[in-house]
Amino acid sequence: MWADDAKRMAELGITHVRIAEFAWSRMEPRPGEFVWEWLDEAIETLAAAGLKLVLGTPTASPPKWLIDAHPEVLPVRADGVRWNFGSRRHYDISSEIYRRECVRFVTAMAGRYGRHPSIVAWQTDNELGCHDTVPSYSPAALKRFQAWLQLRYESVNALNEVWGNVFWSMEYPSFDAIGLPNLTPTDANPIHLLDFRRFMSEEVGSFHREQIEVLRQHAPNADLLHNFMGFFTTFDHYRFAEDNAIDVAAWDSYPIARTESIALPEEQKARYARTAHPDVSAFDHDRYRTIGGGRFWVMEQQAGPVNWASWNPVPAKGMVRLWAYEAFAHGAELVSYFRWRQCPFAQEQMHSGLNLPNNELSPGGLEVQQAAREIAASAALSGLGAPKRAATAIVFDYETQWMFEIQRHGKTFDYQMLVFDYYEALRELGLDVDIVSSKADLSQYRLVVVPSIAVIDETLVGQIEKSSAQWVFGPRSGSKTTAFAIPSSLPPGALQKVLPMQVLEVETLRPTLTPALSFGDIEGVAMHWREHVRANGDTRVDAQFDDAWPAVLSRGKVLYVAAWLSHGLHRAVLAQAANEAGIETQLLADGLRIRRRGDLTFAFNFGEQQVEVPASVNATFVLGQRELATGDVCAWRDAQTD
Ligand code: GAL
């Protein structure tokens, strides 16, 4: 089928093909016995059709002979049970045996193909951490964790002190006496859990880096990347990407399945069951663009129904085409699909592709063909410039995610969903957003939104002091030290330097507890989380709850929101902050989103109604038109930018 596949791919408008990311058992059927001929043929067949290749290292699926020779490569779950062979990702990231095997294999593979002119990129492994495989509670992980702690704390007394191990007699006599934080009758010490998460996050990075070192040597001209996942926070992606560990951030976008699997209210899941929530993909486009230093790809785009969410509906007509344009509008260099052809056997036989199992283009495949043809026919669309820095930044912080998962305090407190709520509000106001690390240079932004950040250090306070931006901080900001303790000055810790106030008590709110407030003419409630705070010095109280506790406080350009507010209130607070920052906002029609790239503005209709897009009267449309139907996309150039 291969020659025909290659020909049909090129005809469809496909330019890049990723292959081999799980094919270890075919490349090395027996230890040390490499069989490359089939892969040579696949590569030559695709290259002959003018296609460029992305080669995946197959280390997400160690073959059976390797597991039989080294069963300790299988990871151990938190309940102490070892996973079995028989699916994928069955390896312990801390296993030194496995790491050696990976370097050995990748050296052979990269040595053979690294300088092939058609292989323009390499992907390491596949979706590191997928299926909850970051943590392993194995002897190998324990040994490396102890060494990691020793490096960090130098003496066990220092560790006991920082961890507060005097509490409940948890003091350790030596580093090798420290265990992993699983199988404890009640909560393990939160800093023990946090340090384990920090350690595991670094393990993921160092596992990937071992392959990158080999690939840089053998494939010096290729782009090196990894395919990250949406809404996935188990390792720190900013740190992962540091020091040229990747050239491009690639990620796998499954909007409908993601909408179904994140903690959105049921009515939103119902409403967007076939279109996906309008911000769910955009959120990760805007996050991975900055992680990739401006360069990002969609490595796997949903092309029809998938197989892994609680329910897997067929996308509404037009969505597969819309998602491609959405990715491009947010700055993607490339959108690739999972998968070329639905595979009629094994685990993913219920997962669609661009082709049905009989090689007929699927409905999604036809939409991809349409998008590819439209882009090829339009100079404006095929020559999109690089995306510009947005005026608005949202700070997303992985350690905050871990800390608030370790100490949720209330069943429904979910940091990433808080960030998402703020993001959604900014996008409803028609804004472009960069999602960034708190350690990034934030000086160029006019509005910096920090939905929450557990630790506020002097560097961040320095950024605030230096910048002329408006800053919005949400609840729980500055509520912890790096040692996972409450700051002695009380939360929000070092933020008090620019915004004198103190958090005296905090409460999580069951759905029946709803302190009410209004901000301007918008009314709403606190949900999930609220703080009882005291304004100090010249800090102003801009809004208060019906029981008189301050809800929104500010001093100059810094504003603090002392609760998780209902959505309309978040939007009202952000609209005001944007306006103070001199950023124009416009409340978009329900379900409509816009995104600017180069001199074009794209609009996407995820709503049920046809809507008019907010283009100026003299705008020139390069795609679609002013009236936008459900599931449709348009793009225009505003008259003044001509
Ligand atoms: C991704 C993975 C692919 C495939 C796909 C199905 O997680 O990288 O190999 O399993 O999901 O949606």
The pLDDT assigned to 361 comes to 98
Distance between Cα 206 and ligand 1 center (Å)? 23
Instruction: Confirm or reject: Cβ of 333 under 6 Å from ligand 1.
Output: no
Closest residue by Cα to atom 12, ligand 1, is 306
Q: Is 126 one of the annotated binding-site residues?
A: yes
Instruction: Confirm or reject: Cβ of 252 under 6 Å from ligand 1.
Output: yes
Q: What CA–CA distance (Å, rounded) separates 53 from 9?
A: 12
Cβ 396 vs Cβ 287: under 8 Å: yes
Instruction: Confirm or reject: Cβ of 446 under 6 Å from ligand 1.
Output: no
Instruction: Confirm or reject: Cβ of 126 under 6 Å from ligand 1.
Output: yes
Domains in the chain (CATH in brackets) are: 392-580 (3.40.50.880), 593-637 (2.60.40.1180)
CA angle, 96 as apex, 91 and 99 as ends, to 5°? 65
182 alpha carbon, distance to own chain's centre? 26
DSSP code string of 14-65: --EEEE-TT-HHHH-SBTTB---HHHHHHHHHHHHTT-EEEEEP-TTS--HH
Instruction: Confirm or reject: Cβ of 203 under 6 Å from ligand 1.
Output: no
Nearest CA to 623 out of 600, 606, 599, 607 is that of: 600
Q: Is 88 one of the annotated binding-site residues?
A: yes
Q: Which atom of ligand 1 is nearest to the CA of 229?
A: 7
The pLDDT assigned to 468 comes to 96
Instruction: Confirm or reject: Cβ of 254 under 6 Å from ligand 1.
Output: yes
Q: Which atom of ligand 1 is nearest to the CA of 21?
A: 9
List, by residue number, the catalytic residues: 127, 300
The pLDDT assigned to 641 comes to 47
Amino acid at 430: G
List CB contacts of 365: < 8 A, sequence separation 6 or more: 12, 303, 353, 354, 355
409-430 pLDDT tens trace: 999 999 999 999 999 999 999 9
Distance between Cα 631 and ligand 1 center (Å)? 24
The pLDDT assigned to 640 comes to 66
Q: Which atom of ligand 1 is nearest to the CA of 307?
A: 12
Q: Is 339 one of the annotated binding-site residues?
A: no
Instruction: Confirm or reject: Cβ of 298 under 6 Å from ligand 1.
Output: no
Q: Which atom of ligand 1 is nearest to the CA of 126?
A: 8
Distance between Cα 601 and ligand 1 center (Å)? 31
pTM of the model: 0.98
Cβ 36 vs Cβ 371: under 8 Å: no
Pocket test for ligand 1, best of 261, 337, 338, 350 (most atoms within 8 A of CB): 338
Judge if the upstream peptide bond of residue 321 is cis by omega within 30 degrees of 0.
no
Nearest CA to 344 out of 328, 355, 331 is that of: 355
Q: What CA–CA distance (Å, rounded) separates 127 from 231?
A: 12
Instruction: Confirm or reject: Cβ of 127 under 6 Å from ligand 1.
Output: yes
Closest residue by Cα to atom 5, ligand 1, is 338
Tokens 């809004």 found at = 543
539-555 pLDDT tens trace: 999 999 999 999 999 99
Closest residue by Cα to atom 4, ligand 1, is 338
pLDDT along the chain (642 residues), means of 10: 98 98 98 98 98 98 98 98 98 98 98 98 98 96 98 98 98 98 98 98 98 98 98 98 97 98 97 98 98 97 98 98 98 98 98 98 98 97 91 98 98 98 98 98 97 98 97 98 98 98 98 97 98 98 98 98 98 98 98 97 97 97 98 92 44
